[in-house]
């Protein structure tokens, strides 16, 4: 089971036509992600991280190359089929949370299940509550996004990403808007999910955040320049140390 | 995504912008209200005119002198003297399709009884007038041909006259009232007919033998007009032809020359009146529809704003699995719900206002089921039609671009 391939891409290209010029955002990328991996995707700005993640998340289709997601060849699917794949197999976490305004945390988390006919209203609520519990927000279920801190909003977004029990969670700079302490908290949460068997692909440009993952893929100008397993650091421990330093520096 | 969820999402979204939703609905409300009110009033007046005309007797025929033209000046037809006793006799005796004929002469006089007085409209007629106009006698009797011959000073009065003169509970029949200088004996009271479609009181009337009015009040020997009734409604045209023939020969009108009288059958009047009011109804409804159209454009405008404003939400929904058609239906159901709620309020308001107006104008209150049905359908269609384009715009958004939208 450990080697089951969730994602498999081969020689992936993504070109953008801007006026008369062609931008090669991805230049023949090849890798696979197996079940239970926690992958960080790194690279400088403009190196193609978001482009890659959009393709992995079935929001975008490659110009050429092969993409197999959980056994489905994505390349030749139509819009509706891609929507269904996103709904059933993918959990997205965005840098700016993207919660629906004036909609309670619970309703926000229920949202993906609304688009799944097989889930009844009752089951939807139960699963959303369970997801919020998994991110330690049981007491904030009925709060509106503007009543929550950034970190809490991101946790609601993570609950929304796991509520449909996806094969992979895709996060694009999920800690980009948060301070160090809250980033560590969120990473602790991701590590918890990972330890429960979730597969995660995590885009970041902060090297210390990447140390909490098990593998780093580094992009430069649309090419993979490095792809290696790393020794995972504990985010919980980092958080504890950070708080200790903070206290001593205050004293 | 099932219908209940769709409706729930749409209503939540609408409630989030209560003020804006209401203002958008207002356009639809005003549109539908005015359509309902206009159509209802149009139909009320049509029905009012129709019931009024048929209460006069649907086989009634009116004969009046033609307008007198002298040197290109229209002298009106009131002072024409073309109808007289000879015409009356020949119409009584030589017709096949005419059952009753009655002349009519009008005068007015102050009516006095005891301390009460009342301005009276006197109409001199033959006894058959009651049959032609479908007047019933509530109390007493109609005067007779004998009394007509003798210029008898008798009269039959309407209810309003009776109420104004006999205020102390006297029984009108048998009393003598003064009409101007002439004492007249009341021998009958007419059954009340109420107001006619123009708000005239049909009970404010005094009927007397035409000879009495001619000799004692006016000093004339011609008639102002004549009333006749045809054997049946269908035969009123035949009767009219017959009357024309007789009157032309009586008046020695040469072939090719114009009649010096005019004949109006009730049927003709009915159809002209109906077509006029129907045309009016259509016209009013058309004008009201324009306000509905404007309301619809308002819905479209707001839906465009909503779609643009919620581009990011659309992107997010698509990213987590909403299909194009889910998004499309989400916005379409918003505009349909907006239109339907607005339409329902408009229908209720429209019924209410037409009822109030009909009561004030004393018209029969007709609420057109067709207008309500059509309005409702139009509302749904408005929502669909004007919501469709913005909704499709939303559905065709690219999720990545939509998510990046600020
Ligand atoms: N829709 C598009 N049209 C044209 N060019 C695009 C489009 N999307 C991305 N690109 C280009 O593709 C390249 C990769 O962009 P991408 O957004 O993937 O970078 P990134 O690694 O996510 O950067 P950052 O760290 O700043 O988010 C850039 O050069 C960018 O200009
Ligand atoms: Mg990016």
Note whether residue B66 is domain-resident. no
Give the single-character DSSP code of A197: T
Q: Which atom of ligand 1 lies nearest, measured to the CA of A18?
A: 4
Strands (E) in A35-79, as ranges, are 38-43, 64-69, 72-73
By residue range, what is the domain housing residue A166?
Answer: 36-60+79-250
Q: For chain A, how many structural domains are there in total?
A: 1
Confidence check: pLDDT of A150 > 50? yes
Q: Which residue's C-alpha comes closest to atom 26 of ligand 1?
A: A45
Whether B191 and B252 map to the same domain: the answer is yes
Q: Which residue of chain A has the CA closest to B399?
A: A59
Of the CA atoms within 13 Å of residue A187, those in its CB half-sphere come to 32
Kindly indicate the confidence band of residue B405, based on its pLDDT and cuts at 50, 70 and 90. confident
Identify whether A71 is part of a domain: no
Look at residue B41 in the predicted model and tell me its pLDDT: 86
Greater pLDDT, A136 or B59: A136
Dig out the tokens for B24 from the structure: 């958008």
> Would you say residue A21 lies in a domain?
no
Q: Is A23 in the pocket of ligand 1 (CB under 6 A)?
A: yes
Residue pair A47/A220 in contact (Cβ under 8 Å)? The answer is yes
- Residue B63: which of B202, B226, B211 has the closest Cα? B226
- Compute CA distances B301 → B203, B304, B390, B402, whole Å: 56, 5, 9, 20
Cβ burial of B54 (10 Å; 0-12, 13-18, 19+) is middle
Asked if pLDDT for residue B365 goes beyond 90, the answer is: no
Structural domain count, chain B: 2
Chain A residues in contact with B2 (beta carbon < 8 A)? 117
Claim to verify: residue B48 and residue B87 sit in the same structural domain: no
Asked whether residue A46 is domain-assigned, the answer is yes
Residue whose token pair is 């990545």:
B400
Give this prediction's pTM. Answer: 0.72
The answer to whether residue A242 sits within a structural domain is: yes
> Is A115 within 8 Å of B322 when comparing Cβ atoms?
yes
Interface predicted TM-score of the whole assembly (ipTM), two decimals:
0.94
- Same domain assignment for residues B227 and B141: yes
Positive or negative: CA dihedral B269, B274, B277, B282: negative
Contact A7, A69 (CB under 8 A): yes
Question: Does residue B225 form part of some domain?
Answer: yes
Give the domain CATH number at A196.
3.40.50.300
- Give B350 or B361, the one with higher predicted confidence: B350
Q: Tell whether B1 lies on the interface with A, counting CB pairs under 8 A.
A: yes
Ramachandran class of A4: left when φ > 0, alpha when ψ lies in -120 to 50, beta otherwise: beta
pLDDT, mean over chain A: 93
- Can you give A116-155 as a three-state secondary structure string? CCCCCHHHHHHHHHHHHHHCCCHHHCCCCHHHCCHHHHHH
Taking the Cβ of residue A116 and every Cβ of chain B, the question of whether any pair is shorter than 8 Å is answered with yes
What one-character-per-residue DSSP string does B167-187 give? TTS--STT-EEEETTEEEEEE
The reply to whether B161 and B231 lie within a common domain is yes
For residue B27, give its domain range: 3-52+272-404
Is A20 within a domain? no
Phi, psi (rounded to 5 degrees) for B160: -60, -45
| Domain closes at, from B221, B236, B259 | B259
Q: Is B327 on the interface with A (CB under 8 A)?
A: no
**What pLDDT score does B253 carry?**
85
**B259, B284, B303 — which closes off a domain?**
B259
Q: Is residue A204 part of a domain?
A: yes
Give A88-129 pLDDT, tens digit per residue: 999 999 999 999 988 999 999 999 999 998 999 999 999 999
The reply to whether B285 and B323 lie within a common domain is: yes
């Amino acid at each position: 089971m450990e080697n089951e391939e969730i994602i498999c891409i081969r020689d992936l290209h993504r070109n953008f036509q801007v006026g008369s010029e062609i931008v090669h955002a991805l230049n023949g990328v090849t890798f696979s992600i197996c079940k239970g991996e926690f992958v960080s995707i790194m690279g400088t700005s403009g190196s193609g991280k978001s482009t890659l993640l959009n393709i992995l998340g079935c929001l975008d289709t490659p110009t050429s190359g092969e993409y197999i997601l959980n056994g489905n060849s994505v390349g030749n699917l139509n819009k509706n089929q891609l929507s269904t794949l996103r709904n059933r197999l993918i959990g997205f976490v965005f840098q700016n949370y993207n919660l629906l305004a004036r909609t309670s945390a619970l309703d926000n988390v229920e949202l993906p299940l609304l688009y799944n006919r097989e889930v009844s209203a009752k089951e939807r609520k139960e699963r959303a509550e369970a997801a919020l519990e998994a991110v330690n927000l049981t007491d904030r279920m009925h709060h509106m996004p503007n009543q929550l801190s950034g970190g809490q909003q991101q946790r609601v977004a993570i609950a929304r990403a796991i509520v449909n029990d996806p094969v992979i969670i895709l996060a694009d700079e999920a800690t980009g808007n948060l301070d160090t302490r809250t980033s560590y908290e969120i990473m602790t949460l991701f590590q918890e999910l990972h330890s429960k068997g979730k597969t995660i692909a995590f885009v970041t440009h902060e090297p210390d955040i990447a140390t909490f993952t098990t593998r780093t893929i580094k992009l430069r100008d649309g090419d993979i320049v490095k792809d290696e397993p790393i020794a995972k650091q504990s985010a919980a421990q980092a958080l504890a140390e950070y708080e200790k330093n903070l206290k001593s520096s205050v004293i | 995504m099932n219908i209940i969820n769709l409706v729930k999402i749409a209503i939540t979204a609408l409630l989030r912008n209560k003020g804006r939703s209401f203002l958008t609905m207002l356009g639809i409300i005003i549109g539908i209200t005015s359509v309902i009110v206009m159509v209802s009033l149009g139909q009320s007046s049509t029905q009012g005119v129709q019931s009024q005309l048929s209460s006069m007797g649907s086989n009634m025929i009116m004969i009046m002198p033609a307008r007198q033209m002298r040197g290109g000046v229209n002298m009106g037809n009131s002072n024409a003297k073309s109808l007289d006793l000879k015409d009356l006799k020949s119409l009584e005796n030589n017709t096949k399709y005419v059952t009753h004929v009655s002349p009519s002469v009008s005068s007015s006089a102050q009516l006095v009884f005891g301390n009460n007085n009342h301005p009276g409209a006197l109409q001199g007629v033959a006894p058959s007038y009651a049959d032609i106009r479908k007047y019933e006698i509530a109390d007493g009797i109609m005067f007779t041909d004998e009394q007509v011959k003798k210029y008898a000073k008798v009269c039959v009065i309407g209810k309003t006259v009776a109420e104004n003169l006999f205020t102390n509970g006297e029984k009108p029949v048998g009393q003598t009232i003064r009409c101007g200088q002439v004492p007249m004996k009341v021998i009958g009271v007419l059954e009340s007919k109420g107001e006619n479609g123009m708000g005239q009181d049909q009970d404010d009337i005094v009927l007397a033998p035409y000879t009495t009015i001619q000799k004692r009040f006016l000093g004339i020997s011609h008639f102002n007009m004549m009333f006749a009734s045809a054997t049946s409604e269908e035969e009123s045209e035949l009767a009219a032809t017959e009357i024309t023939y007789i009157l032309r020969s009586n008046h020695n009108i040469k072939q090719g020359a114009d009649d010096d009288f005019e004949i109006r059958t009730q049927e003709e009047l009915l159809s002209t009146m109906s077509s006029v009011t129907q045309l009016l109804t259509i016209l009013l409804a058309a004008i009201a529809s324009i306000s509905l159209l404007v309301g619809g454009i308002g819905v479209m405008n707001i839906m465009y704003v909503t779609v643009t404003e919620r581009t990011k939400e659309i992107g997010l929904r698509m990213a987590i699995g909403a299909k194009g058609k889910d998004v499309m239906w989400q916005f379409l159901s918003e505009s349909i719900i907006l239109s339907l709620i607005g339409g329902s309020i408009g229908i209720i308001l429209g019924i209410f206002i037409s009822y109030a107006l009909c009561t004030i104008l004393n018209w029969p209150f007709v609420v057109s089921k067709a207008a309500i049905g059509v309005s409702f359908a139009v509302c749904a269609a408005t929502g669909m039609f004007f919501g469709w384009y913005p909704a499709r715009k939303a559905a065709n958004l690219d999720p990545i671009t939509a998510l990046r939208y600020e």
